[in-house]
């Protein structure tokens, strides 16, 4: 019975990896669409977000079956509970990538130096998502703690971008609407970093029973 249960936990981990890969892909598409000013790339995000939604439902069902059909011990219970919480954050990552895609057409193909900063910000959030899911699969608290630390880098990017765009509005009010749209894009990437941080917090909970990171407010 325990062997079968461990196999199911391994399958759960693999499904989370697949969902995490989808999240990485939508973040990357959002960043590429922004930098390349490519609406066609942005249009690819919505179908992927629907895949993420479906993967969330599949993993939730898998977790509930494990809870109902098996008799998990305390650590197993924490691991399954953490997975249930993680997929909620991962689903929100997909939603926020789609929010970015909806803003991009309003930028009208324009570009600013801040686009490059946002690209680097996106790369950092992709790594956070990758590492947070990997930390869950490996039950690696060191990697989870590294994700928590990486959130400071993403927050710093957002602060720099915000200051730069506020300065742009002050110097050229006609660019105000454009700057605000770009600021919203940066804000969504910052929120994605928050969700990756929260996933890492659930990893810590699954291993130690303690979680020091509060869920990000949407």
Average pLDDT for residues 205-218, to the nearest whole number? Answer: 68
What's residue 211's pLDDT?
A: 67
Domains of the chain: 2-208 (1.20.58.220)
What's residue 48's pLDDT?
A: 95
CB atoms within 10 A of CB 50: 12
pLDDT band at 218 (very low <50, low <70, confident <90, very high): low
CA distance 197 to 150: 8
pLDDT band at 67 (very low <50, low <70, confident <90, very high): confident
State the number of CA atoms in the 13 A half-sphere of 11 facing the CB: 14
Asked whether the predicted pLDDT for residue 182 surpasses 70, the reply is: yes
Asked whether the predicted pLDDT for residue 71 surpasses 80, the reply is: no
User: Considering the entire predicted model, what is its pTM?
Assistant: 0.89
Q: How far is CA 21 from CA 15, 28, 177, in A?
A: 10, 10, 33
Mean pLDDT of the residues in the chain: 89
Asked whether the predicted pLDDT for residue 193 surpasses 90, the reply is: yes
Sign, Cα dihedral of 23, 24, 27, 33: negative
Residue-wise pLDDT for 76-125, tens only, equals 889 999 999 999 999 999 999 999 999 988 887 676 677 788 889 999 99
Question: Of 125, 167, 145, which is closest to residue 23 (Cα–Cα)?
Answer: 125
Residue-wise pLDDT for 38-49, tens only, equals 888 999 999 999
What's residue 137's pLDDT?
A: 87
What's residue 104's pLDDT?
A: 87
């Amino acid at each position: 019975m325990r062997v079968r249960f461990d196999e199911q936990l391994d399958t759960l981990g693999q499904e989370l990896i697949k969902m995490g890969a989808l999240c990485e892909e939508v973040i990357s598409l959002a960043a590429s669409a922004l930098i390349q000013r490519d609406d066609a790339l942005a249009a690819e995000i919505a179908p992927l977000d629907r895949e993420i939604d479906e993967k969330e439902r599949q993993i939730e069902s898998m977790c509930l079956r494990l809870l109902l059909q098996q008799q998990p011990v305390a650590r197993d219970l924490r691991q399954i509970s953490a997975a249930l919480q993680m997929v909620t954050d991962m689903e929100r990552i997909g939603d926020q990538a789609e929010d970015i895609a909806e803003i991009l057409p309003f930028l009208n193909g324009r570009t600013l130096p801040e686009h490059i900063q946002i690209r680097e910000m996106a790369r950092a959030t992709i790594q956070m998502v990758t590492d947070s899911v990997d930390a869950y699969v490996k039950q690696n608290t060191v990697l989870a703690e590294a994700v928590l630390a990486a959130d400071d880098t993403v927050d710093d990017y957002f602060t720099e971008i915000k200051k730069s765009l506020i300065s742009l509005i002050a110097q050229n009010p006609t660019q105000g609407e454009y700057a605000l749209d770009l600021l919203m894009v940066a804000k969504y990437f910052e929120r994605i970093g928050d969700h990756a941080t929260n996933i890492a917090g659930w990893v810590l909970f699954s291993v130690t029973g303690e979680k020091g990171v509060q869920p990000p407010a949407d």
